[in-house]
Chain A
Amino acid sequence: MKRRQFLKGMGLAGLGATLPFSLVEISFAMGTKPAEHESFTFAYISDSHLTHLGGTRFTRNFDQGLRKAVMEVNLMDPKPDFVVYGGDLAQLGKREELDHGLELLSALRPPIKWVIGEHDFYLDMGRYWEDKISPLHYSFDHKGVHFVVLNSILTYEDWIARWPTAEERMANMARLDNPHGSPFLVGEAQLRWLAEDLAKYDANVPVVVLSHSPLYKIFKPWNFWTDDAEQVQKLLQRFHRVTVLHGHVHQVLYNQIGNITFYAMMATAWPWPYPVSYVQKPNQVPKLTVFMNRADPFHERDGTGWDILDLDSGTITNHYQLWMNENRTVAFDFKLKHPVDLKYQDPDKRIPPQFHY
């Protein structure tokens, strides 16, 4: 049993809103084995899509989302050990956008672990990110858990070569529903690196993989998809406790494939629809996911937010911080061997806004 709490809505309190501080307490065990490592908390901020308009001007809405997340993470108590930034900091990979993002994120007190997204990458193929921000793939250990960061938004060489300018390449990758898009790849070189990296670890060591795109296949027309996902999964399956945390899809989404648990993280910029809402093409949206509420466009921050992640007994409890909705908590159920929403998993408990069409 453990207790954690944090304050929600401090930022709004300053604006005179009547939001009470909401206390979240986790006290479920669900048949866990004793922790094999020291439990800890980290935060995840993702998909801010900061958009440069010229000079020092940026799209207001998206700046607001990132500022709000930074402010709230700084109010977490106990403090997170680190913050993952999940990629798509920029909208069109511009230095102005990445610099602006670094400036806004410099207000964060905990250290940042960086994951690159396609919107950060395809203008200069990740050069500025690598020079100024972070390596594109790397691994680290934290309190007995092995973390692996992958650059999962690579793609095929012939697609990269087909665009006459860097700007066209970036614009075409930035358009989600682009019929001339190209699926994401981890790629041979990184797969080899991953195999070597993981070879050093015993199967009992909890592993957390951080990638921008989902490392499984959901909907190819929108690139909710990594083409060589199965090869990554194959390298991960021998571990008993594996979780993949990804950005890119801008929605509440979770899944279980064999030993691997998958969680999507919220975006601070805007929500994407679930592929089930596009009727012209079939999708493989995980049946396990209880959808987030349909977003109300009249509330600018609806359908956006960030995540608090508790790591205990090698598995993650994911607290979706939803700015205009009730927060959601999804945790691994050791009996069912997959993640469950602690309130809404039972189909009878679901509410009308969770139905998408």
Chain B
Amino acid sequence: MKRISVWLLLAALAVPAPGDEFTEEDLKRWKAEYMKVMERGEKLFHSPLGSNNVSCDQCHPNGANTHPETYPKFQKQLGKVATLREMINWCLQNPLEGKPLALDSDEMIALEAYIHWERRGVPLAPGKH
């Protein structure tokens, strides 16, 4: 109860909470940061990341047929609900005959940023096959 009344008091005083404020400049910078990572992902996606000179784009030009909007979803071949990052690692290990990336690595995040960018605008469809 006490906490709520403190909040109400703060609101009444109209003290701007700095965390809620951002400018056009901020928006531009945040987008630019995203695009930097996305572009790194685009490069990785078009590079041989495994051991057999095969790159992701050979089966997925412009990231097509990756369906990021459907994850997490049940993958019958894995017998469980899997994430996009797990599927990226599956591709790295199988068609690309390489090593998996750490799920929180910069490279993994970059690949995810690129795949999502190419699919922008498509409604989320979690679990869809």
Contact = CB atoms under 8 A, between A and B. Distances in A.
Answer yes or no: do A and B interact: yes
Interface of A: 51-53, 59-61, 91, 175-177, 221-222, 270-273, 275, 277-280, 294-298, 300, 356-357
A61 B95 contact: yes
28 contacts: A51-B53, A53-B52, A53-B53, A60-B52, A60-B97, A61-B54, A61-B95, A176-B57, A176-B61, A221-B62, A270-B58, A270-B59, A271-B59, A272-B61, A273-B61, A273-B65, A278-B61, A278-B62, A278-B63, A279-B121, A280-B62, A280-B120, A296-B77, A297-B90, A297-B91, A297-B94, A297-B95, A298-B94
A221 B94 CA distance: 28
Given A279-B121, A297-B91, A298-B94, 9 more contacts: A53-B52, A61-B52, A175-B57, A222-B61, A278-B61, A280-B62, A280-B121, A297-B59, A297-B95
Contacts of B60: 273
A91 B54 CA distance: 10
B53 A278 contact: no
A59 B54 contact: yes
A273 B64 contact: yes
Given A278-B118, A279-B121, A294-B65, A177 B54 contact: no
Interface in B70-123: 77, 90-91, 94-95, 97, 118-122
Q: Is the interface of A mostly helix, strand, loop or mixed?
A: loop
Interface centre among A273, A294, A296 (most CB of B within 10 A): A273
B46 interface: yes
A354 to B, nearest CB: 13
B87 to A, nearest CB: 9
Contacts of B77: 296, 298
Interface centre among B54, B59, B62 (most CB of A within 10 A): B62
Nearest to A57: B52
A277 B57 contact: no
Interface residues of B, number: 25
Nearest to A174: B58
Contacts of B120: 280
Contacts of A176: 57-58, 61
Contacts of B63: 278
Contacts of B61: 176-177, 222, 272-273, 278
Those 5 A-B pairs whose CB atoms lie nearest each other, nearest first: A177-B61, A273-B64, A273-B65, A298-B77, A277-B64
B46 A175 contact: yes
B119 A279 contact: yes
Nearest to A177: B61
B100 to A, nearest CB: 15
A298 B67 CA distance: 16
A182 to B, nearest CB: 16
Given A177-B57, A177-B62, A297-B59, A59 B46 contact: no
Contacts of A278: 61-64, 118
A59 B52 contact: yes
Nearest to A353: B129
Contacts of B59: 270-273, 297
B62 to A, nearest CB: 5
Contacts of B118: 278, 280
A93 to B, nearest CB: 14
Contacts of A280: 62, 118, 120-121
A166 to B, nearest CB: 18
A277 B67 CA distance: 9
Nearest to B78: A298
Contacts of A53: 52-53
Interface in B24-64: 46, 52-54, 57-64
A302 to B, nearest CB: 11
A52 to B, nearest CB: 8
Nearest to B91: A297
A51 B95 CA distance: 13
Nearest to B55: A175
Contacts of A221: 62
Contacts of B122: 279
